[in-house]
Structure 1
């Protein structure tokens, strides 16, 4: 095929290709990349891929080239050759587009010959009969028609205009146009009737495109719409994306200039890996209908005149006839929007409500409601996004109605496999044209055939309406992969609209009953997420508090959200910590805290064979009784170690570091405060870590946004700067017994260096960083992300809050200064940590200390010498607080 203006290297490549010297082509491409224009790099690479039979690479190279120049006829010709192996109608469309852009006569002759050959074989694609309704707005109508002429070949379309009694100069201009079919109504017949008139004027075989006159056709927009329409025989209609459109079809913000939109279109209207989204409906501003499907379904329903919901109606009929409505993301058309209906907003809204009622009245036998057909649950999509894995995922949804929300889910995760279960037959039929949907009675559903198939299952407001929710959940859980997540949406048991004497009787679940239900099916709750918050008047809030206080099953925040989403994970039975890790918890005189902690974690700790030792220095035996009570119930992983109540705290800590009282050898030790525990999601990550050899496993709770859940650090100073603030907590570190403790831990040397009797508050921080400084290099495993969470009992509390200025000023500075020299820029860690809001970085906290009589003028004079080292709050502000100056 002839080309123009090739440079010397490009001519050499072309000649080598014609001679089928493919190794020479590859060598020239590699050696002369800078001399070959990017568009020709794509063409030559695609040619090589064709020769090698690598269809995937062919498509990729063509796509790259069209992103550089979307009007390159050679690439469309090659794209036609690519599709010739898959879909001859799509190949025909590509050759037609190549001919449209080609201005080299010799090449035009060759392209036409290919098209003629296909036609002789009976392969062709009908024109698109573009039906435009005109009602005044001549400038817009003219711009719309001119854009069609500029961007589409004559062979691909015919232009049909129905004028609905315009009163400006529209009719006069339209009558002068020789390439359009025109019908002039004497009165405004409305959108549905006018479109039907236009459809009847089109050629018998033409597909029909309904196009608003307030649009601008962009290059290749119609081409990709037609490519989508002939993707397969199941497609009944295709729709474009735009700047001004509802239904999830908007892809760029409204309000830009035409030039900006055309620039966007040039980058958008190109081959895409996943260009199609199946939809329950498509907006009629730019809707392409396959003629053979339209003849089966019937034309637009004129009961919806003057307009609105006729597009929902025709799309629903397409689905019920067994076809699909497909959104083509690579077809962008500019839409200025609502230039006719939008002139009178109130009238438009009234019409919208009226036609919506007509629509649901027409289809009431299908049990269609605005909730199961129109409602788009973006809140659920956002929650699924939060818990979605980075890689492609298998998702099962239950109770999503017609699947409107599923089309958004499909658009958000185009590489996922999405399925649905729906109990109502007609809703399932509609949903099935969006994603693969099974119609089934949930009370009879069995999950065995799909056991272990799904990464995520979403159950949307469905369990409330089953006879036996526990049985249904058990079958659904069977379908989860080992680490699969279950998302359950359910209405509040009671929200403020239902506060009365019979509160909650008409709703099955609240969070408490849902938690018990999940425990029965071996699921662990990861998170509760309330959605659709309500504005509650002050008087109503008081009423809520009263009712909630009288009913222990309810919590006040149950009234604040209309619906809850519970995120749960399938329980693991294959994780056994055994001798891999032991938990050591010092406690003293807080049996209620220990009881509360065990209520949250005892079951999962036992299931994971995680041994826990309680070092108790209480003066009574109440804590011992709590432990013995659990031991009597079969919790043989819980151990009690009595500690002399008179033993100094520092000695008690050292006994734990030396693992005194421990009955067997463990690989790792987790030193944990009495009021803390973690859930199953965190234990899973811990288990992965302790199965390997590290000096330290550190729960980097300071970086919950991290996408890398497990990472390795081999530099003590880097660890100090990343995690120094959270290393001050005893709960975050899991020590390798052999390399960090035991014989490796010289207590005498440690005591002498850090004067622990005066600085015991930072014992854990000092142990970690002192020991890591001796490892060359250290191996530190960091556990981060939203799966890493340490929970605290509401019954426990910190005892040093009122002393924090001195602790974090004097002692914290001293602890850092005594660290080995391998730790650099210590002042940065000192200030960043102490300036955290809950330490010394919050003015309200300091005001509270002044109110308590702690932060006094005298105290200010003592601490001002180090204040600027530990806080971003200016010294002058601290002084005003201390002196009580407003």
Structure 2
């Protein structure tokens, strides 16, 4: 059975949210718990349990604190579905979430697809829906449950979430030190993973968020999360989606995939969805990250300094080798690339990403005498090597990968930087693209 916990912020929103839930009820929902703060909400229903928080300081109640009050007031035997009152579900959402939760005994957390949401969780459509009805029309042909559409994730955002009761019994409540929904979600998913439970995105369930997200204050939690887990989730838990449309390896046979700098393994997990028959291998220097990556099925993960002479790869073993934002951190990236080339099968694919030191932001600062290292970006403090498109091409040629295809990732440029681009391209015949490219994705093969 399921207890639905509604986090109430606005009387009108809560009213429409409850109506939406009741219009989409499934048999297993036997309780609706409404957590409200100083609002005039009254409902008469055997299923509804209203918990009123008499506190003038609404903003002292973070997402995790609200959610925990709801969990504590829900039936102790029930699974718990948590949502804000600005959410509206579409047909079969509750039904499909429950099917997904019990599709495997190891599944502990399930979330739906939303219309909007944080980009780094990759679970929102981010399409310009004019209304709830347009969202319903879009999802109408997509709500038929298909277990193969479910995606395993290391993290999801709890804009709406269904949690198995056994998970709550084993790992406890959400960590209230995290104010934002996103970091509280990430923390809970990782704790569940450590206990052997998996998080699932149900691509046949949909929730419509009516307005701006609550608790979108993730910057307040970043340091807390890193102190607790030892890595930055905005980087180490991200799926590198920018490489997915550049994959050229045939998925019809067994595929061996190596990711150097795999962090927590989110990209490997995504590749495991694409290549159903694959063997995953990953290296990363951060022990806390690799401890998470080791929880991925079918993955052989090692925490190691990839430049160590003790690291040897079997020759002609891998169909796909990925190095994303890695080579710039190494003392001798050319030596590693020679190792990588030997480990790659004859028809295999290499994909690397590298920041472009020729980007106009760097050139603009350099002509003013500035070379200031930053916490992240092209002049990240941990970068030891710097590359242009020419030097990247030369590195590929040095390992006999003569055919190089590259894709540019752009960033915003100021009017002053744009003027400098025009000047340099005119005076020195410099390709504007190379001045505008913030990062390159390079591969030896294309589709």
Alignment pair present for 1:153 and 2:26: yes
* Counterpart in the other structure of 1:302: 176
* Counterpart in the other structure of 1:206: 78
Q: How does 1:689-838 map to 2 (within 5 A)?
A: none
Decide whether aligned partners of structure 1 residues 545 and 415 sit closer, same or farther in structure 2, where only a CA change above 3 A counts: farther
Decide whether aligned partners of structure 1 residues 229 and 528 sit closer, same or farther in structure 2, where only a CA change above 3 A counts: same
* Counterpart in the other structure of 1:312: 186
- Residues 237, 287 of structure 1: 8 Å contact kept: yes
Shift of 1:311: 2.0
Separation in 1, partners of 2:219, 2:140: 36
Alignment pair present for 1:323 and 2:323: no
1:428 alignment partner, one of 290, 294, 304: 290
Alignment pair present for 1:567 and 2:443: yes
Decide whether aligned partners of structure 1 residues 445 and 220 sit closer, same or farther in structure 2, where only a CA change above 3 A counts: farther
Separation in 1, partners of 2:15, 2:86: 10
Alignment pair present for 1:177 and 2:45: yes
- Residues 545, 556 of structure 1: 8 Å contact kept: no
Decide whether aligned partners of structure 1 residues 555 and 142 sit closer, same or farther in structure 2, where only a CA change above 3 A counts: closer
* Counterpart in the other structure of 2:366: 499
Decide whether aligned partners of structure 1 residues 537 and 253 sit closer, same or farther in structure 2, where only a CA change above 3 A counts: closer
Secondary structure at the counterpart of residue 525 of structure 1: coil
Decide whether aligned partners of structure 1 residues 519 and 257 sit closer, same or farther in structure 2, where only a CA change above 3 A counts: closer
TM-score by length of 2: 0.79
2:321 alignment partner, one of 449, 457, 462: 457
Alignment pair present for 1:131 and 2:12: no
Secondary structure at the counterpart of residue 328 of structure 1: strand
Separation in 2, partners of 1:361, 1:307: 14
Decide whether aligned partners of structure 1 residues 263 and 537 sit closer, same or farther in structure 2, where only a CA change above 3 A counts: closer
- Residues 317, 345 of structure 2: 8 Å contact kept: yes
Shift of 1:239: 0.5
2:301 alignment partner, one of 431, 434, 438: 438
Separation in 2, partners of 1:407, 1:273: 17
Separation in 2, partners of 1:361, 1:544: 45
Shift of 1:452: 3.3
Decide whether aligned partners of structure 1 residues 232 and 371 sit closer, same or farther in structure 2, where only a CA change above 3 A counts: same
* Counterpart in the other structure of 1:111: none
Separation in 2, partners of 1:179, 1:541: 66
Separation in 1, partners of 2:234, 2:426: 31
* Counterpart in the other structure of 1:369: 232
Q: How does 1:851-870 map to 2 (within 5 A)?
A: none
Shift of 1:287: 0.7
- Residues 268, 332 of structure 1: 8 Å contact kept: no
Alignment pair present for 1:538 and 2:414: no
1:155-199: per-residue Cα shift (whole Å, max 9, x none)? 344211111222xx4x22x3x222112211112334322211111
Decide whether aligned partners of structure 1 residues 226 and 457 sit closer, same or farther in structure 2, where only a CA change above 3 A counts: same
* Counterpart in the other structure of 2:392: 514
- Residues 251, 275 of structure 2: 8 Å contact kept: no
* Counterpart in the other structure of 1:762: none
Q: How does 1:50-65 map to 2 (within 5 A)?
A: none
- Residues 221, 332 of structure 1: 8 Å contact kept: yes
Shift of 1:327: 0.5
Alignment pair present for 1:271 and 2:145: yes
Shift of 1:145: 2.5
2:223 alignment partner, one of 355, 360, 363: 360
- Residues 155, 189 of structure 2: 8 Å contact kept: yes
1:359-394: per-residue Cα shift (whole Å, max 9, x none)? 333333644226523655443334x25x46585783
Secondary structure at the counterpart of residue 245 of structure 1: coil
* Counterpart in the other structure of 2:127: 253
- Residues 491, 509 of structure 1: 8 Å contact kept: yes
Shift of 1:489: 1.2
Shift of 1:541: 6.2
- Residues 290, 302 of structure 2: 8 Å contact kept: yes
Shift of 1:406: 5.3
Separation in 2, partners of 1:258, 1:371: 30
Alignment pair present for 1:489 and 2:353: yes
Larger radius of gyration: 1
Alignment pair present for 1:402 and 2:264: yes
* Counterpart in the other structure of 2:110: 238
* Counterpart in the other structure of 2:155: 281
* Counterpart in the other structure of 2:330: 466
Decide whether aligned partners of structure 1 residues 256 and 333 sit closer, same or farther in structure 2, where only a CA change above 3 A counts: same
- Residues 153, 201 of structure 2: 8 Å contact kept: yes
Separation in 2, partners of 1:459, 1:440: 15
Separation in 2, partners of 1:561, 1:306: 33
Separation in 2, partners of 1:495, 1:264: 40
- Residues 216, 335 of structure 1: 8 Å contact kept: yes
- Residues 30, 47 of structure 2: 8 Å contact kept: no
Decide whether aligned partners of structure 1 residues 252 and 372 sit closer, same or farther in structure 2, where only a CA change above 3 A counts: closer
Shift of 1:543: 7.0
Shift of 1:468: 3.9
* Counterpart in the other structure of 1:23: none
Aligned length: 418
Aligned-residue Cα RMSD (Å) equals 3.6
Shift of 1:266: 4.4
Decide whether aligned partners of structure 1 residues 488 and 362 sit closer, same or farther in structure 2, where only a CA change above 3 A counts: closer
1:195 alignment partner, one of 28, 44, 67: 67
Gapped regions of structure 1 (runs ≥ 5): 1-126, 342-347, 570-785, 788-886
Decide whether aligned partners of structure 1 residues 507 and 320 sit closer, same or farther in structure 2, where only a CA change above 3 A counts: same
Decide whether aligned partners of structure 1 residues 301 and 418 sit closer, same or farther in structure 2, where only a CA change above 3 A counts: same
From the two aligned structures, give the one with the greater strand fraction: 2
Secondary structure at the counterpart of residue 523 of structure 1: coil
Separation in 2, partners of 1:545, 1:266: 53
More relative contact order in 1 or in 2 (CA 8 Å, sep 6+)? 2
Decide whether aligned partners of structure 1 residues 541 and 452 sit closer, same or farther in structure 2, where only a CA change above 3 A counts: same
* Counterpart in the other structure of 2:244: 381
- Residues 324, 354 of structure 2: 8 Å contact kept: yes
Separation in 2, partners of 1:316, 1:231: 20
* Counterpart in the other structure of 2:36: 163
1:854-883: per-residue Cα shift (whole Å, max 9, x none)? xxxxxxxxxxxxxxxxxxxxxxxxxxxxxx
Secondary structure at the counterpart of residue 482 of structure 1: strand
Q: How does 1:10-29 map to 2 (within 5 A)?
A: none
From the two aligned structures, give the one with the greater helix fraction: 1
Shift of 1:519: 3.5
Decide whether aligned partners of structure 1 residues 155 and 433 sit closer, same or farther in structure 2, where only a CA change above 3 A counts: same
